């Protein structure tokens, strides 16, 4: 039998559930017996038997020797890496673990500013100096692009002390960086390549999808197995494939950051998602790619909505995971958020994200053709029904090239902070992170010298009464600085 057909965690839990073992272990619901009947009716009784704690039969995520170890080995073989580690707090914990294990306190790391918020948390936890690269703004597609290989090489030459380079690929929009070239550059300079591949656990399973991070040569990468494959929410994996990083340190860090009561349903679902992807991934993604392309075509036949194509992205030097549908709405006279609300209220459709310019529809292993048809039909109908004035909003970010005066960790731990009016903040050191949506990237990071341009940009936003993530106050009239 092909080893990949085994699902050690699921098989162990299933066999155990059949024996109806009397529970004197946590959790307190005791094999679902004590769960509120309404919730139990949703979960099913059997699920309670899968919700166990750590004991020899079901193995320990922190020191795996039996079924979890076997499942992680099968995962590593499936992705062609040295080791894979299961995560029960999503790619969030994986990103933090990558930073904490590849770097030591005081090290510098090159990071694109369009990174997920877990990266700043990881930088604070690990005590690192971030060297930010400004992402490119595309004002035709209204999205941000990862740094180019050339930008990364320039940053390495300018900051030779950097220990590692952190790249997000694919982005939320499904756009992938040229990781083969980036990996060659990063390794030529003896640096470590870390990739946030939260949105790319499926890339490996179909040849018409962009190359995956480990195939391109990443040292470490994290994937949200729950985002596109079939793991339950929070189920993610950190892949290790490096001669530059100590695997035992990775193990220790992951263990430090994760709960001692991992949810075994999540662990089993990661195990099952791997098996499904190995045996059925190609067929499933053949279908999903086809459905997405059909949907894209219909969206691009409307008058006011468009969804960029792989060709358009390739022309800009990147690649596209076509299973993601980014729908630009600016010509409709609505914001992405308004179209999102119409889809939810009138059509019972929920997309993954929306901002001023776009909404993002994520397809996954469970997507049906009728779902995509429903989305494209709804957008076609909205396109006919509503006639707003095309907006000439422009996606822009201020220049973020400013001085990093203190480490974000130092600022985070410092008690010496005060609030000053935005008009007086230029020249001061920021003590907070401020992220307007869009563009969804922080324009201020703790420890950065605040420039006049950033003050003007934020003042402009505050006049528009736009809420900025991290602002801590009702209005954006003041900013927290190191005092």
Residue from 236, 307, 332, 402 that binds ligand PLP (CB under 6 A)?
236
> Coil, strand, or helix at residue 133?
strand
**Residues in 177-196 that interact with ligand PLP by CB under 6 A:** 196
Query: Residue 128 carries which DSSP code?
Result: -
Options 79, 172, 318, 412; binder of ligand PLP; rule CB under 6 A = 172
219 binds ligand PLP (CB under 6 A): no
- The distance of closest approach from Cβ of residue 410 to ligand PLP in the complex, given in angstroms and rounded to an integer, is 25
Q: Minimum Å distance from CB 125 to ligand PLP?
A: 15
When the beta carbons of 31 and 225 are compared against ligand PLP, the nearer one is 225
3-state DSSP assignment of residue 237: strand
Examine residue 90 and tell whether it contacts ligand PLP (CB under 6 A): yes
Q: What is the CA radius of gyration of the chain?
A: 23
Contacts with 107 (C-beta within 8 Å, 6 or more apart), sequence order: 126, 128, 129, 162, 163, 164
Give the DSSP H/E element, type plus range, for residue 435: strand 435-436
Question: Rounded to whole angstroms, how far apart are CA atoms 349 and 354?
Answer: 13
- The candidate with the shortest Cα–Cα distance to 173, out of 359, 379, 441, 437, is 359
Largest CA distance in the chain: 70
CB of 270 to ligand PLP, least distance (A): 12
Q: Are strands 236-240 and 319-320 parallel, antiparallel or unpaired?
A: unpaired
Contacts of 14 by beta carbon, 8 Å cutoff, 6+ apart: none
Q: Does 263 bind ligand PLP (CB under 6 A)?
A: no
Question: Would you count residue 96 as binding ligand PLP (CB under 6 A)?
Answer: no
**Minimal distance, residue 441 CB to ligand PLP, in Å:** 12
258 lies in the binding site for ligand PLP (CB under 6 A) = no
For residue 224, the minimal CB distance to ligand PLP (Å) is 4
Tell me the Ramachandran region of residue 146: left when phi exceeds 0, alpha when psi lies from -120 to 50, beta otherwise: beta
- The site for ligand PLP, by CB under 6 A, has a size of 13
Cβ closest to ligand PLP, residue 116 vs residue 419: 116
Is 269 a binder of ligand PLP (CB under 6 A)? no
- Is residue 129 classed as helix, strand or coil in its secondary structure? strand
Alpha-carbon dihedral of residues 45, 46, 47, 53, nearest 10 degrees? Answer: 110
Q: Are 103 and 96 in contact (CB under 8 A)?
A: no
Q: Which of 6, 16, 29, 116 binds ligand PLP (CB under 6 A)?
A: 116
Residue 118 found at the interface with ligand PLP (CB under 6 A) = yes
**Is 230 one of the binding residues for ligand PLP (CB under 6 A)?**
no
> Which of 86-94, 144-152, 313-321, 458-466 is the region at the interface with ligand PLP (rule: CB under 6 A)?
86-94
Determine which helix (DSSP H) or strand (DSSP E) holds 136, and give its type and residue range.
strand 136-138
Query: Which CB sits closer to ligand PLP, 70 or 199?
Result: 199
Residue 238 CB, shortest distance to ligand PLP, in Å, is 11
Which residue has its beta carbon closest to ligand PLP?
A: 90
Euclidean distance between CA atoms 351 and 339, whole angstroms: 10
Given the rule CB under 6 A, which of 16-24, 88-96, 377-385, 453-461 is the region that contacts ligand PLP? 88-96
**Dist CA 360 CA 138 (whole Å):** 16
Which residues lie near ligand PLP (CB under 6 A)? 90-92, 95, 116, 118, 168, 172, 196, 198-199, 224, 236
């Amino acid at each position: 039998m092909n080893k990949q057909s085994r699902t050690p965690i699921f098989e162990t839990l299933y066999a155990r559930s059949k024996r109806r073992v009397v529970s004197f272990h946590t959790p307190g619901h005791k094999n679902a017996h004590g769960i509120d009947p309404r919730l139990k009716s949703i979960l099913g009784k059997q699920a309670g038997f899968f919700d166990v704690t750590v004991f020899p039969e079901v193995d320990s995520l922190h020191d795996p020797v039996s079924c979890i170890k076997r499942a992680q080995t099968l995962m590593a073989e499936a992705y062609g890496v040295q080791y894979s580690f299961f995560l029960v707090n999503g790619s969030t914990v994986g990103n933090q673990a990558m930073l904490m294990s590849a770097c030591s306190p005081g090290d510098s790391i090159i990071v694109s500013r369009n990174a997920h918020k877990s990266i700043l948390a990881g930088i604070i936890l690990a005590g690192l100096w971030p060297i930010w690269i400004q992402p490119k703004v595309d004002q035709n597609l209204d999205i941000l692009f990862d740094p180019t290989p050339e930008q990364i090489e320039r940053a390495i030459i300018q900051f030779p002390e950097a220990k590692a380079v952190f790249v997000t690929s694919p982005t939320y929009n499904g756009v992938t960086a040229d990781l083969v070239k980036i990996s060659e550059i990063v390794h030529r300079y003896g640096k470590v390549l870390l990739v946030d591949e939260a949105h790319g656990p499926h890339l490996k399973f179909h040849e018409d999808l962009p190359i995956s991070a480990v195939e391109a040569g990443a040292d470490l990468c994290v994937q949200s197995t729950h985002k596109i494959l079939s793991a339950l929410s929070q189920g993610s994996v950190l892949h290790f494939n490096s001669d530059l990083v100590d695997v035992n340190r990775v193990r220790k860090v992951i263990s430090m950051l994760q709960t001692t009561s991992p949810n075994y349903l999540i662990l089993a679902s990661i195990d099952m998602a791997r098996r499904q992807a190995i045996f059925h991934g190609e067929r499933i993604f053949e279908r999903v790619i086809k459905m997405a392309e059909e949907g894209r075509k219909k969206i691009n036949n409307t008058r006011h909505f468009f969804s960029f194509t792989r060709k358009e992205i390739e022309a800009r030097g990147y690649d596209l995971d076509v299973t993601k549908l980014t729908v630009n709405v600016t010509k409709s006279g609505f914001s992405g958020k308004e179209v999102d609300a119409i889809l939810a209220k009138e059509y019972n459709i929920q997309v993954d994200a929306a901002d001023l310019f776009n909404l993002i529809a994520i397809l996954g292993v469970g997507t049906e053709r009728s779902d995509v048809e429903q989305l494209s039909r709804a957008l076609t109908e909205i396109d006919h029904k509503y006639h707003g004035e095309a907006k000439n909003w422009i996606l822009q970010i201020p220049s973020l090239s400013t001085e990093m005066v203190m480490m974000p960790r130092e600022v985070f731990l410092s008690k010496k902070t005060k609030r000053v009016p935005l008009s007086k903040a230029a020249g001061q050191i920021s003590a907070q992170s401020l992220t307007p949506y869009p563009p969804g990237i922080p324009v201020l990071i703790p420890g950065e010298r605040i420039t006049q341009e950033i003050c003007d940009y934020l003042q402009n936003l505050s006049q528009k009464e736009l809420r900025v993530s991290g602002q801590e106050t009702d209005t954006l009239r003041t900013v927290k600085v190191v005092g």
